[in-house]
């Protein structure tokens, strides 16, 4: 099986079967909720991952509603899917700031083909979470936003880290998006389970786009330097 075959199989079996989530939080599974997600993601992985090469993994937090929550591809919103990957998307073309930044990094690295040949992106929780705010609007929710949710989904996260390593991921270094709660949690799990030799945390793309846009190039350079150190 190619790396693509393994990821597609992984996505098809993705389902949350753990304990009931805390009140007011729901699971978000693009492969069950979005008609296009499986078709789009299959096309994407066959385009960039149809080989048997190993890759280094980047672990984000969990998918957001306007990026991976629609396309089934982490940190790839419909705009970037069409403009950068030349894959068709039908429907409202949404914009996710994290995806904008990630594709700036990808292009600085040498473009999608060069980047995805070396790196696989997913998240500690490959399924997302949402909640309803006091105005009745659905919002993204992170696995660590409440202690109750984090405790509930920890076995699911551990299981999916193991499954993603089995896709053909190097275990010398894991890159982590987020230098706060996500880094803290993955390092705790790694200390307990020994998944990776080393965790290298990078500032989260959303944080950079929201608070550090003037220094964006410095962060892109930092990312590229980190990736260059693993070949």
Give pTM, 2 decimals: 0.95
The CA distance from 111 to 97, in Å, is: 18
For position 49, what pLDDT does the model report? 98
103 SS3 class: helix
For position 8, what pLDDT does the model report? 98
For position 91, what pLDDT does the model report? 83
**pLDDT tens, position by position, for the chain (231 residues)?**
999 999 999 999 999 999 999 999 999 999 999 989 999 999 999 999 999 999 999 999 999 988 999 999 999 999 999 999 999 999 889 899 999 999 999 999 999 999 999 999 999 999 999 999 889 899 999 999 999 999 999 999 999 999 999 999 999 999 999 999 999 999 999 999 999 999 999 999 999 999 999 999 999 999 999 999 997
CATH number (3.30.160.40, 3.40.50.300, 2.40.10.340, 3.40.470.10) of 23-169+178-226 reads 3.40.470.10
Long-range contacts of 7-10 (CB under 8 A, 24+ apart): 7/41, 7/45, 7/49, 7/120, 7/167, 8/41, 8/42, 8/45, 8/46, 10/126, 10/163, 10/164, 10/167
Look up residue 146 and give its DSSP letter.
S
The CA distance from 117 to 119, in Å, is: 6
Q: Are 54 and 74 in contact (CB under 8 A)?
A: no
For position 199, what pLDDT does the model report? 98
């Amino acid at each position: 099986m190619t790396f693509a075959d393994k990821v597609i199989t992984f996505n098809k079996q993705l389902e949350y079967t753990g304990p009931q989530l805390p009140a007011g939080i729901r699971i978000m599974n693009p492969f069950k909720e979005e008609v296009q997600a499986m078709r789009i993601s299959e096309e994407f992985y066959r385009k960039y991952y149809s080989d048997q090469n190993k890759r280094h993994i980047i672990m984000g937090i969990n998918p957001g509603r306007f990026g991976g929550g629609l396309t089934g591809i982490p940190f790839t919103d419909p705009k970037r899917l069409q403009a950068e990957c030349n894959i068709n998307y039908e429907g409202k073309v949404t914009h996710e700031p994290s995806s904008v930044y990630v594709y700036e990094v990808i292009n600085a690295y040498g473009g999608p083909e060069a980047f995805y040949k070396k790196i696989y992106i997913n998240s500690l929780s490959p399924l997302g979470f949402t909640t309803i705010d006091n105005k009745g609007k659905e919002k993204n929710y992170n696995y660590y936003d409440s202690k109750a949710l984090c405790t509930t989904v920890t076995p699911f996260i551990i299981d999916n880290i193991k499954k993603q390593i089995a896709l053909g991921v190097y275990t010398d270094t894991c890159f982590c998006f987020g230098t706060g709660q996500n880094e803290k949690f993955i390092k705790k799990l790694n200390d307990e389970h020994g998944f990776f030799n080393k965790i290298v945390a990078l500032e989260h793309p959303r944080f950079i786009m929201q608070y550090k846009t003037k220094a964006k190039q410095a962060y892109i350079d930092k990312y590229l330097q980190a990736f260059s150190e693993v070949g």
